[in-house]
């Protein structure tokens, strides 16, 4: 559920669906009439001398020319329609809608792949933890055997060759542990990415493959 909700690849796929839907709407616009509207407003002042040759008497008794203001508002509405005689616009619109539908299948594929990757990664963690436990048990057993051989060498019932061979076995067993620990850590980080979380913010306890039902 967290992967489906927060995975970044799925989020990108959803965004591509929105983009394809918007492009489909744009491509379908040519099938409908185009309506445009233009409006403008102008305000002009005419001098007083344009309407009379004598100055007008003012309230304070003086005489002067009075200008006038005029506002002109213009509103225009245009409509046009392109006859799709050869079906070009219709085909373009259909192609865009099909592309939008294809992006939905792409999202479904990404969702299925994400869930499958998440399950496989979790199984890998469980398997690596099982192998890690076995490797640590092998190291413990090899250490016990080495201690026994050392005791036998001390009393003369085992040779230095037996001791060297067991030391080699123990070193080999110990060398396998870091690789398994790295596998567990890397797979946990992959799971964190799949669920859209930073690796340090997620806790994956894991367990064992034998516990699965």
Give tens-digit pLDDT for 104-144.
999 999 999 999 999 999 999 999 999 999 999 999 999 99
Mean pLDDT of 93-103: 90
Pairwise CA distance, residues 21 & 92, whole Å: 14
* Lowest-confidence region among 5-14, 125-134, 159-168, 200-209: 200-209
* pLDDT of 52: 65
Q: What proportion of the chain, given as a percentage, has pLDDT over 90? A: 41
* pLDDT of 46: 75
Q: Is the pLDDT of residue 26 over 70?
A: yes
Residues 103/16, Cβ–Cβ less than 8 Å? yes
Give tens-digit pLDDT for 138-167.
999 999 999 999 999 999 888 999 999 999
pTM higher than the cut 0.75: no
């Amino acid at each position: 559920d967290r992967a489906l909700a927060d995975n970044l690849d799925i989020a990108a796929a959803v965004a591509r669906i929105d983009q394809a839907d918007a492009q489909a709407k744009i491509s379908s616009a040519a099938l409908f009439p185009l309506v445009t509207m233009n409006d403008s407003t102008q305000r002009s002042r005419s001098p007083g001398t344009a309407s009379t040759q004598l100055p007008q008497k003012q309230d304070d008794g003086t005489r002067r020319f009075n200008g006038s203001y005029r506002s002109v508002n213009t509103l225009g509405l245009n409509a046009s329609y392109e006859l799709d005689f050869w079906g070009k616009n219709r085909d373009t619109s259909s192609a865009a809608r099909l592309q939008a539908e294809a992006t939905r299948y792409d999202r479904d594929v990404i969702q299925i792949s994400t869930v499958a990757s998440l399950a496989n990664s979790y199984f890998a963690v469980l398997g690596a933890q099982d192998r890690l436990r076995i490797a640590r048990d092998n190291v413990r057993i090899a250490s016990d055997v080495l201690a026994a051989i050392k005791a036998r060498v001390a009393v003369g019932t085992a040779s230095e060759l037996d001791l060297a061979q067991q030391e080699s076995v123990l070193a080999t067993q110990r060398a396998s542990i870091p690789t398994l620990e790295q596998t567990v850590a890397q797979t946990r980080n992959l799971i964190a990415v799949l669920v859209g979380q930073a690796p340090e913010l997620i806790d994956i306890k894991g367990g064992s493959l034998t516990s699965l039902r």
